[in-house]
Amino acid sequence: MRRILPERSIRALGALTVALTLAGLVTAAPAHAAAGPDLRVTATAGQGRWLPNDEIPLDVTITNVGDTKAEGVKGEVWMFSGPYFAVRPDAWGDLYNRGAGTSFAPGESRTYRLRGTVSTLAQGDPVFRVRVIGSAEADESDNDPEVTVGLVPAGTTDRVAGHLYGDADHNGLPSPGEDLAGVEIRLRSGGPGVIERVATTDGSGRFTFDAVPVDRYYSVNFDSFPEGWVNPGFGPLRVDGAGQHTALEIRAGRPLTDSLQASARLDKPSYAVGGIATGTVTVTNISDRRLTGLWAGCDPAGEGVHLEMPSGQWGDFDPAKQAGVLAPGQRVEFKVSGKVPHKSGYTGRAHLTCYIASGADTSGPLAQAAGKVPGKRVDERGQLWTDKNGNGRPDTGEGVPNTTVTLVTEDNKLVSLTRTDATGFATFPQVGVGVYRLRVAGQWRTVGDTTAYVIAPPYRLGDWYQQVVPG
Ligand SMILES: [Ca+2]
Ligand SMILES: [Ca+2]
Ligand SMILES: [Ca+2]
């Protein structure tokens, strides 16, 4: 990338040298205005404890001290030593060296905030020149200032330490008796070359990680969090050798289910697809403190079988507001309506499912209710099997033949009855979609969950398999 000075510039430089020599100022910085466009460039890297992948700011100020407009002005970075200082191409803006370049009128000055990154600390500090130049530059001597970016020295380590407490009295501070002992804390760096450290809190809830290698991103996870507390989900932490994480206070709270109860019911036992269902959701503060920031989040799983509820039915408990308040012992009731979704016609069920949360704390109770959506009928086929070889799954020859199987409602009313064939398979013909239970007659006893979800195609999951053991 060597450039040859145009003849006009050499002449200009020669005249300048003569002028300065006459004035006795040959070693001083020239404060002149050369004939033609003459950009003067300064560059300053931001100070900081820079780590690999940090976006390091680099301010480049460009002033046209010449008497002519500078055109086709572009910038680039020339490396001298250390790791490559990568400037994102789009950070250059109109200075991008594969674009058309920009222009500066005489006297015009602009500052560009570039951002660069390095990928390693192992090669010392990056040293480079930022070169900004246009066509017909009168004096190139002040167009490429040298910059050194100060990185955190390779091999730097840091201490990460703190205290973990369970805020039983809800005052947001560690109080006597709130130390959480024996909790495993896992620090994990970003990649590449992931560093992982594990520590356990001592009898007073304290933990220490010594000599942690610097990294801009350590996740903090608690593996063996004690029963009854909400995992606090702390971090991530930047560890850069400044010792800023040596007195962490990590608060764990009780789950909201300790303080709130919620329930839901629907106005009818069954609905048609597209019909409107109205639910009543009741939320009660069963604690002895005022609860704030409350809200209700419905259809949490997005499975398409939950009532489609227009927003604006929850007042202060609206998810967009999160401003619900309940005094100790206070109960609030919401009437909410929603449309029975299309998919409910295939599953036989419409659900109202809402969790109650407080701000970012989603450990509250679920309010759930379901209504029937009768309609489609399907042949419901499956197999009764017994695990002869003990491998936990049905194999050839493990079907239970010639046995009566019944399908009953959740309140135990007979819906359908069938008999298994020689391979243990049986079909309940033309059963209405919905949720049922399987029962087995005779000398067999069912194992595990006997719930049968009768779902119409295309959502049908496949045949049912019911394990039994000799009763
Ligand atoms: Ca210049
Ligand atoms: Ca406390
Ligand atoms: Ca088996």
- In tens digits, the chain (471 residues) has pLDDT values of 444 444 444 344 443 333 333 333 333 445 555 589 999 999 999 999 999 999 999 999 999 999 999 999 999 999 889 999 999 888 899 999 999 999 999 999 999 999 999 999 999 999 999 999 999 999 999 999 999 999 999 999 999 999 999 998 888 899 999 999 999 999 999 877 899 999 999 999 999 999 999 999 999 998 777 888 988 878 899 999 999 999 999 999 899 999 999 999 999 999 999 999 999 999 999 999 999 999 999 875 667 899 999 889 999 999 999 999 999 999 999 999 999 999 999 999 999 999 999 998 888 999 999 999 998 999 999 999 999 999 999 999 999 999 999 999 989 999 999 999 999 999 999 999 999 999 998 889 999 999 999 999 999 888 999 999 998
Query: Which of 22-27's residues contact partners 24+ apart within 8 Å by CB, and which partners?
Result: none
Is the residue at 168 inside a domain?
yes
Domain boundary residue, one of 228, 252, 276? 252
Same structural domain, 356 and 431: no
Same structural domain, 121 and 167: no
Q: CB within 8 A of 149, min separation 6: which ones?
A: 45, 50, 56, 58, 85, 116, 118, 125, 126
Is the residue at 1 inside a domain?
no
Query: In sequence order, what are the beta bridge partners of 261?
Result: 284
Is the residue at 76 inside a domain?
yes
Is the residue at 83 inside a domain?
yes
- Give the integer Cα–Cα distance in Å for 308 and 298: 9
Task: Cite the DSSP H helix spans in 137-210.
Answer: none
Same structural domain, 292 and 361: yes
Same structural domain, 269 and 221: no
Same structural domain, 141 and 228: no
Is the residue at 2 inside a domain?
no
> Could you tell me the distance, in angstroms and rounded to a whole number, from the CA of residue 65 to the centre of ligand 1?
8
Domain boundary residue, one of 122, 148, 174? 148
Place of tokens 């970003």: 190
- Measured in degrees and rounded to the nearest 5, phi and psi for residue 326 equal -135, 125
Whether the CB-CB separation of 366 and 302 falls below 8 Å is answered with no
Domain boundary residue, one of 83, 113, 148? 148
Which residues form the domain of 444?
377-470
Residue 26 CB coordination number (10 Å)? 12
> Could you tell me the distance, in angstroms and rounded to a whole number, from the CA of residue 250 to the centre of ligand 2?
11
Instruction: Identify which ligand lies nearest to the alpha carbon of 396.
Output: 3
Is the residue at 57 inside a domain?
yes
Q: Which residues surround ligand 2, an ion (CB under 5 A)?
A: 167, 169, 171, 173, 175
Output the CA–CA distances (angstroms, integers) from residue 31 to 151, 204, 268, in the order listed: 34, 66, 88
Is the residue at 231 inside a domain?
yes
Same structural domain, 20 and 116: yes
> Could you tell me the distance, in angstroms and rounded to a whole number, from the CA of residue 445 to the centre of ligand 3?
17
Same structural domain, 335 and 412: no
> Could you tell me the distance, in angstroms and rounded to a whole number, from the CA of residue 141 to the centre of ligand 1?
6
Same structural domain, 344 and 466: no
Same structural domain, 228 and 268: no
- Give the integer Cα–Cα distance in Å for 428 and 439: 13
Split into its structural domains, the chain has a count of 4
Output the CA–CA distances (angstroms, integers) from residue 30 to 16, 19, 26, 156, in the order listed: 9, 10, 8, 42
Same structural domain, 138 and 121: yes
Same structural domain, 81 and 140: yes
Q: Domain containing 441 — which CATH number?
A: 2.60.40.10
Q: Which residues surround ligand 3, an ion (CB under 5 A)?
A: 387, 389, 391, 395
Is the residue at 198 inside a domain?
yes
Same structural domain, 34 and 130: yes
